[in-house]
């Protein structure tokens, strides 16, 4: 099974088990809101630009579409999400599924899981972890591009990747952990990530203050 397909199934199962009103790390979104966001990404290309483009009219349109989806029957929305992207969507291809959908789904799965009391990290098989490590190596230089210090990611058994060269007068912070934990840190879920952060106190503090929320 492709990594994105496996993650989609796990998100659907988790959302169903938690219920629509459970909290997520994307406060104030509940599970219902997060699922609506994921369905919007897959089925409403007209509303996708407003997710990342800081233009008011685009964001208002995205917010309105997401709200309408969130107000629909939760079980219907859940079934729509399980179906995956429609036939015309590039996200149905294995390449886009691996490069784009896999990291997005992995992070949002943990947004649900780690917002609950007594949570445990999701365990993924080798194919998913390999895909996530690839995502860290590709996305890390972009996500840490404005970091005030150098950043190196180390995934035991998989290697290391330089994600940001240090600026003059600063040091380098080393992040160690599974690809999932490193991906969560890169995507701004710093407090929820179990990645071990190593470096001088000042450099660690500077990276902790760096905003990468997505």
Q: What angle do CA 74, 75, 79 make, to 5 degrees?
A: 120
Residue 200 pLDDT exceeds 60: yes
- The confidence score (pLDDT) of residue 57 equals 87
Query: Distance between alpha carbon 7 and the CA centroid of its chain, in Å?
Result: 12
Question: Mean pLDDT, the chain, as a whole number?
Answer: 92
DSSP code per residue over 142-207: HHTTT-SSEEEEEETTTEEEEEEPPPTT--EEEEES-HHHHHHHHTT-TTT---EEES-HHHHHHH
Find out whether the peptide bond into 28 is cis, omega within 30 degrees of 0.
yes
- The confidence score (pLDDT) of residue 95 equals 62
- Provide the whole-model pTM: 0.91
Section 16-26 average pLDDT? 97
Higher pLDDT, 60 or 92: 60
Residue 96 pLDDT exceeds 70: no
Residue % of the chain over a pLDDT of 70: 95
Q: d(Cα 205, Cα 210) in Å, to the nearest integer?
A: 9
Section 170-177 average pLDDT? 96
Residues linked to residue 160 through DSSP beta bridges, in sequence order: 154
Residue 22 pLDDT exceeds 70: yes
């Amino acid at each position: 099974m492709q990594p994105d397909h496996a993650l989609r199934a796990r998100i659907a199962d988790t959302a169903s088990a938690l219920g629509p009103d459970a909290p997520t790390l994307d406060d104030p979104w509940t599970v219902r809101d997060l699922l609506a966001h994921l369905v919007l990404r897959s089925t409403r290309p007209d509303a996708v630009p407003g997710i990342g483009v800081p233009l008011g009219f685009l964001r208002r349109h995205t917010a309105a579409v997401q709200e309408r989806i969130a107000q629909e029957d939760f079980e219907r929305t859940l079934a729509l999400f399980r179906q995956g992207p429609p036939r015309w969507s590039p996200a149905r291809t294995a390449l886009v599924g691996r490069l784009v959908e896999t990291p997005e789904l992995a992070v949002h799965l943990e947004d649900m899981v780690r917002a609950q009391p007594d949570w445990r990290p999701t365990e993924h098989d080798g194919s998913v972890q390999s895909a996530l490590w690839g995502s860290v190596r590709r996305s890390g230089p972009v996500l840490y591009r404005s970091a005030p210090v150098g950043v190196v990611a180390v995934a035991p058994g998989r290697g290391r990747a330089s994600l940001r060269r240090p600026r003059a007068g600063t040091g380098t912070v080393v992040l160690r952990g599974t690809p999932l934990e490193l991906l969560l840190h890169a995507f701004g879920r710093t407090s929820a990530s179990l990645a071990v952060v190593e470096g001088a106190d000042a450099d660690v503090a500077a990276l902790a203050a760096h905003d990468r929320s997505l």
